[in-house]
Structure 1
């Protein structure tokens, strides 16, 4: 439990939450009988005072202006926004870094989207539909208008290993093969013919290993029999209907695996047709560790026509090197993209998330003032503006896959997303903020934020959306989660949704800049403490 004094009810609730190992989901009310510290001799107070409502408004007047056309990822709008952020960093004296993966202040990013335009599967004239009776993934298959043959080779498990090979004496170049998942096992001992033990080899756990071999052998299509195709379809339906991009530009990169479709036992039976006994005989031989194949006459065709699109953009990075622990990093983040235009309407996203982006500039300036006065933080501080959040946390996903600063030395992430408005719950009381994730991976992080709030700010800290069973699941919906997935403690500051959320009416004139100052100061105080405390915070939570 944190060290600050809470009112009795909230104290009891907090103790109960921690005792049962759950995440905090109540509200922390500061003890207002204790005055906040305002003495400028306190360095945290001195530099937090540089966060200015006027400067925040100036930033938002640019970032949420019509000229940036809603800052949709990969457009001229995000390019102009990123140039503004970089110029502001330069003006405050945060110089561009010369590090691998960086170009001035920019980390170039690319996202490759693949989707099916047309795909069906036909066996002896019968049509089967994607996501209903079979699976095939556009990002794992080459574009092919038509794959057709009058013969399919049943090739056991599709394994090519020194200890067992289904490809022995099999001519498969430019052929379609049908294989099973898994690997051959001795029915008497239960041991794999490949490992010699009950432990299965990676031929069972990594289907792509089989598909790579098929590609090397010149196979034009692999049909993988999935004995539980219904579960596989259910588990992968979202992946096919709402595909996530690959991180990087793969437009002209050949796929390393053979084209493949995962089919039901029903489709496999239709392909086998009158040759069931031959396949059974082959399976008995395979169960003895001897490869066997069956050539199956069939009228088979499938079309695999897809569209591949690459979106290019950039994350923006500012950096202050620490004086005592320069190789330990605190990352403060905010996404700067939004929804762009819909027809003639411009979605300027003043709250979402020009507010977080502008606030991060002010916090960076506060840290830089400390540096200029000879009070450089002990740990390095990274200011990270991310693109692609509205398209699925893409900028942060790219960053953690291509980190500029080592993830293992990243102490914490502080993420700011929508901090300029007041939701219905707190109408008339702007001195609040929703806190999400602070206690999920590090009890230290949670305690520090609460202590900094009690000591300097006296905001109401609302943890409603931090509950594991909260239906909104905001913990998984902003960029901090990309860091949390990698075991990096993360805290997310959020003002809640409002009637202008993701609407063209989310404009600067509705922003409460005084509220933003107060939240910005809390974030600064927490970051300053993380950067200057003697020990790095402990990770004592579980990644979920």
Structure 2
């Protein structure tokens, strides 16, 4: 635990906690096709779940570790006690075949004759069972944003053979750099801006390697996140002979600038050109990369639990939350454990609390018409691995999966008057959230920073790619009152820099009233959908409309974020 707030702040938090108890003990569902039921959320139990899952005992919950075993046992026991059934032929666990790649910390790297230091200047890895990397004199090619997008008439790889070459590219997409240009989706990141897309595209073009130039603003996170998240063991799904670059990673903006200068080029000028139109440019420089690489195979597991519906049990409303985090970094000299309290012990605790409410209603003789299924996924931090595996190997058919409500890092900053729907304007499922907000007099808005690509960064995206309407929502930017605003400002300072860092630890002084209200919104929306025969779809003009179309024939525009 980190240092506590001063006494004056603790008094404020006490007041916030009292307000949370008064407002959250009873959450009413909005008027729907059947009479609403009253639900009771237990804040003490919610806190205990977060505290336990993020304790040092659970060792940061990395997949295929002892921390995973403890987590699986904890979640399985909880679902059993609620009376839910294991979705995998009675078993609560779904095996997810994984391979862990670990690049040695001792690396010899030089670009254009510049010796680079692992972690400080560059982070590289290889997702191949090859024993190690030994690349000599590989040509470096700047490929702009590394995007091939026919619908935007964009191809950064046009006219170049990437065989044996290393692609160097910019983070995000051209819309971020030139939002007024009308390119891509303006400041809101498209999937083309994501690192996983860029590595795949380079692989598809036969590149030997792919390296992204890190820049904090368009990446939406500092270099420390790269250093912490892309070093150590890197999990992936076991895939049969998947095409992939031999080496992939990130380089700092400062070092990339030196590299381009060494080539007689101006990186800022090329960045500007890359934002105006597709391009590629050989740097007339080479790279030498050498490091040992280890591959280890083991199963990790999703936890999948179902509460059977009373009328159409073959139709499922899904909840997802990833149980995993980064684990332990033995190279650190002080705090080695990435506890992952906010990300995502809080979301996992959230689906447990929601599951208890549905289970209690069923015990009281009010089961939902449709089944409710809860998926605690593995490997989200390594690229949505558990959800990707489930979507490719569903325990219930995709065409019987009605919708997905995803929880990832719940609100620890107190209640808000607004409510954030990440990627707002994509599907009719959002209307269920908006209806559930009405009794609370909260207003649904899009995220304030769509350039961070939040819709593509959590487990709901894996389901969206299969056409299942999926939402990632909660929190907001407007505190409910001045006391909450002051608390939020103090807690923001305390939590600054804790994303994917060892200071993401549970705190007794967190105001969880906003989190409880948000899971109430999810419960109410899912309750309404689970007791209807509605099948929400994606609006025309969105990426997933062709997979499951909305009933509305008009395109739905996202509400603009706050200024």
> What interval of TM-score do these two structures reach, taking the shorter chain for normalisation?
0.5 to 0.7
Q: Are positions 1:59 and 2:56 aligned together? A: no
Q: Are positions 1:371 and 2:362 aligned together? A: yes
Task: Provide the C-alpha distance between the structure 2 equivalents of 1:226 and 1:404, rounded to a whole number of angstroms.
Answer: 40
Task: Provide the C-alpha distance between the structure 1 equivalents of 2:311 and 2:368, rounded to a whole number of angstroms.
Answer: 8
Task: Provide the C-alpha distance between the structure 2 equivalents of 1:60 and 1:246, rounded to a whole number of angstroms.
Answer: 24
* Contact 1:337–1:386 under 8 Å retained in 2: yes
> Structure 1 pair 94/113, CA: closer, same or farther in 2 (3 Å)?
same
Q: CA deviation at 1:414?
A: 0.4
> Structure 1 pair 510/389, CA: closer, same or farther in 2 (3 Å)?
farther
Counterpart pick for 1:463 among 433, 438, 446:
446
Task: Provide the C-alpha distance between the structure 1 equivalents of 2:447 and 2:352, rounded to a whole number of angstroms.
Answer: 28
Q: CA deviation at 1:96?
A: 2.4
Counterpart pick for 2:464 among 460, 467, 484:
484
Q: How does 1:493-532 map to 2 (within 5 A)?
A: 493-495=473-475, 498=492, 499-500=494-495, 501-502=498-499, 503-532=502-531
Q: CA deviation at 1:382?
A: 0.8
Q: How does 1:388-407 map to 2 (within 5 A)?
A: 388-407=379-398
Q: Secondary structure at the match of 1:381?
A: strand
TM-score, normalised on structure 2? 0.55
Task: Provide the C-alpha distance between the structure 1 equivalents of 2:212 and 2:69, rounded to a whole number of angstroms.
Answer: 29
Once the two structures are superposed, what CA deviation does each residue of 1:473-499 show, in whole Å capped at 9, x if it has no partner?
Answer: 111111111111222211112447945
Once the two structures are superposed, what CA deviation does each residue of 1:420-449 show, in whole Å capped at 9, x if it has no partner?
Answer: 411xxxx7x545542213531x2x212221
> Structure 1 pair 434/483, CA: closer, same or farther in 2 (3 Å)?
same
> Structure 1 pair 400/357, CA: closer, same or farther in 2 (3 Å)?
same
Q: CA deviation at 1:97?
A: 3.5
Q: Secondary structure at the match of 2:458?
A: coil
Q: CA deviation at 1:86?
A: 0.8
> Structure 1 pair 258/436, CA: closer, same or farther in 2 (3 Å)?
closer
TM-score, normalised on structure 1? 0.57
- What residue is the counterpart of 1:446 in the other structure? 430
> Structure 1 pair 398/474, CA: closer, same or farther in 2 (3 Å)?
same
> Structure 1 pair 321/140, CA: closer, same or farther in 2 (3 Å)?
same
- What residue is the counterpart of 2:422 in the other structure? 436
Task: Provide the C-alpha distance between the structure 2 equivalents of 1:397 and 1:116, rounded to a whole number of angstroms.
Answer: 24
Q: CA deviation at 1:415?
A: 0.5
Task: Provide the C-alpha distance between the structure 2 equivalents of 1:311 and 1:439, rounded to a whole number of angstroms.
Answer: 39
- What residue is the counterpart of 1:160 in the other structure? none
- Which consecutive residues of structure 2, in runs of 5 or more, have no partner in the other structure? 1-26, 114-124, 136-159, 171-197, 203-209, 214-225, 248-288, 477-490, 545-563
Q: CA deviation at 1:310?
A: 3.0
> Structure 1 pair 471/538, CA: closer, same or farther in 2 (3 Å)?
closer
Q: How does 1:93-492 map to 2 (within 5 A)?
A: 93-99=83-89, 104-113=91-100, 226=162, 236=202, 237-238=210-211, 248-249=237-238, 255=241, 307-342=294-329, 343=332, 344-345=334-335, 346-422=337-413, 429-430=415-416, 432-440=418-426, 442=427, 444-454=428-438, 456-465=439-448, 470-492=450-472
Q: Secondary structure at the match of 1:509?
A: coil
* Contact 2:101–2:128 under 8 Å retained in 1: no
Q: CA deviation at 1:520?
A: 1.4
Q: CA deviation at 1:385?
A: 0.7
Once the two structures are superposed, what CA deviation does each residue of 1:184-240 show, in whole Å capped at 9, x if it has no partner?
Answer: xxxxxxxxxxxxxxxxxxxxxxxxxxxxxxxxxxxxxxxx96589687988521499
Aligned residues: 368
Relative to structure 2, which stretch is displaced further, 399-408 or 234-243?
A: 234-243
Task: Provide the C-alpha distance between the structure 2 equivalents of 1:245 and 1:77, rounded to a whole number of angstroms.
Answer: 16
* Contact 1:416–1:492 under 8 Å retained in 2: yes
Q: CA deviation at 1:508?
A: 3.2
* Contact 2:58–2:70 under 8 Å retained in 1: yes
- What residue is the counterpart of 2:254 in the other structure? none
Report the aligned-residue RMSD.
4.4
Q: Are positions 1:80 and 2:70 aligned together? A: yes
> Structure 1 pair 119/140, CA: closer, same or farther in 2 (3 Å)?
farther
Task: Provide the C-alpha distance between the structure 2 equivalents of 1:257 and 1:420, rounded to a whole number of angstroms.
Answer: 39
Task: Provide the C-alpha distance between the structure 2 equivalents of 1:338 and 1:115, rounded to a whole number of angstroms.
Answer: 17
Task: Provide the C-alpha distance between the structure 1 equivalents of 2:472 and 2:59, rounded to a whole number of angstroms.
Answer: 27
* Contact 1:417–1:494 under 8 Å retained in 2: no
Q: Secondary structure at the match of 1:478?
A: coil
* Contact 1:53–1:516 under 8 Å retained in 2: no
* Contact 1:438–1:445 under 8 Å retained in 2: no
- Which consecutive residues of structure 1, in runs of 5 or more, have no partner in the other structure? 1-35, 121-126, 128-136, 148-223, 262-301
Q: CA deviation at 1:334?
A: 0.9
Q: CA deviation at 1:326?
A: 2.2
- What residue is the counterpart of 1:543 in the other structure? 543
**Whose Rg is larger?**
1
